[in-house]
Amino acid sequence: MASPRGQKRRAEIIEAALHIFAEKGYHAAGIADIAGHLGIGHGTVYLYFKNKEDILDTAVRRVIRDMTSIVLLERPDQARSLKEFEGQIMRIGSAFFELFRKDLRGARIILEEAPAVADRIRRRLARASDNTAYLAERFLIHGKKQGYLAPELDTAIAARAVNAMMYEAIRQGIRTAPEELEALFLRWNRTVCDIMLSGMRTEDRQD
């Protein structure tokens, strides 16, 4: 395990890389650019990472970890009514959008840069997508058991559809002016929630 000083330096290199990747694009950026941003020799970077791809992979893992931790803030078996389920959806969505509103570099990495770099990173992203779909589906399965979500709901497909909507919101966010992001994400959060409730709930179930 790296020392606290080593962990701090690794974190600084990742932050610098995110900045450079966002500014120049992954393929146009070099280790020298990252080192120059920190005011260190490029050899120092190689003490902590094998190459540029290794830095990107580490950044991807960090973003995936942060996204997963948001879903885990809520217990999938907690809601006892459609209203409580709605509250969970809104809280998870708010936290998810706030994560990227504060820093869209992670979104650019996940959606634009990383998928085109290497097979191992594409596989990591695919596993992360499968995992978030699995976590989301647990909420839907519980809702069916409780009777507030429709018994015929295809939870596996619905979970992936919800994830797709969230990712599309982030894609739009990348192209949106920073001062307009909060309002945009509020609209997305409310709309995704409304779509889920109207399309998934038991017929005439409002409580």
Tell me: do 15 and 107 sit in the same domain: no
Whether pLDDT at 108 is above 90: no
Residue 205, in any domain of the structure:
no
Tell me: do 41 and 136 sit in the same domain: no
Which structural domain, as residue segments, surrounds residue 79?
Answer: 52-200
Tell me: do 121 and 158 sit in the same domain: yes
42-74, pLDDT tens digit by residue? 899 999 999 999 999 999 999 999 999 999 999
1-32, pLDDT tens digit by residue? 568 888 999 999 999 999 898 888 888 999 99
Tell me: do 10 and 96 sit in the same domain: no
Tell me: do 78 and 61 sit in the same domain: yes
- The total of structural domains in the chain comes to 2
Tell me: do 64 and 44 sit in the same domain: no
Residue 207, in any domain of the structure:
no
- Buried b or exposed e, range 152-191, using 16+ CB within 10 angstroms: ebebeebbbebbeebeebbeebeeeeeeebeebbeebbee
What CATH number does the domain containing 5 carry?
Answer: 1.10.10.60
* Positive/negative CA dihedral, 69, 74, 77, 82: negative
Is the model's pTM score more than 0.85? yes
Whether pLDDT at 203 is above 80: no
Whether pLDDT at 182 is above 90: yes
Tell me: do 114 and 43 sit in the same domain: no
Whether pLDDT at 80 is above 90: yes
Q: Which two tokens stand for residue 175?
A: 């192209």
Comparing 31-40, 118-127, 140-149, 151-160, which segment has the lowest mean pLDDT? 118-127
- Residue 163 has what pLDDT? 94
Of the candidates 36, 177, 18, the one whose C-alpha atom is nearest the C-alpha of residue 106 is 18
Tell me what the mean pLDDT of segment 133-150 comes to. Answer: 97
Identity of residue 89: I
Tell me: do 141 and 83 sit in the same domain: yes
What CATH number does the domain containing 139 carry?
Answer: 1.10.357.10
Tell me: do 151 and 180 sit in the same domain: yes
- Residue 2 has what pLDDT? 66
Return d(Cα 207, Cα 202) in angstroms, integer. 10
Q: How many CB atoms lie within 10 A of CB 193?
A: 19
Of the candidates 126, 107, 128, the one whose C-alpha atom is nearest the C-alpha of residue 173 is 107
Comparing 23-27, 37-41, 159-163, which segment has the lowest mean pLDDT? 23-27
- Residue 66 has what pLDDT? 92
Tell me: do 80 and 136 sit in the same domain: yes
Annotate 15-82 with three-state secondary structure. HHHHHHHHHHCCCCCCHHHHHHHHCCCHHHHHCCCCCHHHHHHHHHHHHHHHHHHHHCCCCCCCCCCH
Tell me: do 37 and 83 sit in the same domain: no
Tell me: do 110 and 156 sit in the same domain: yes
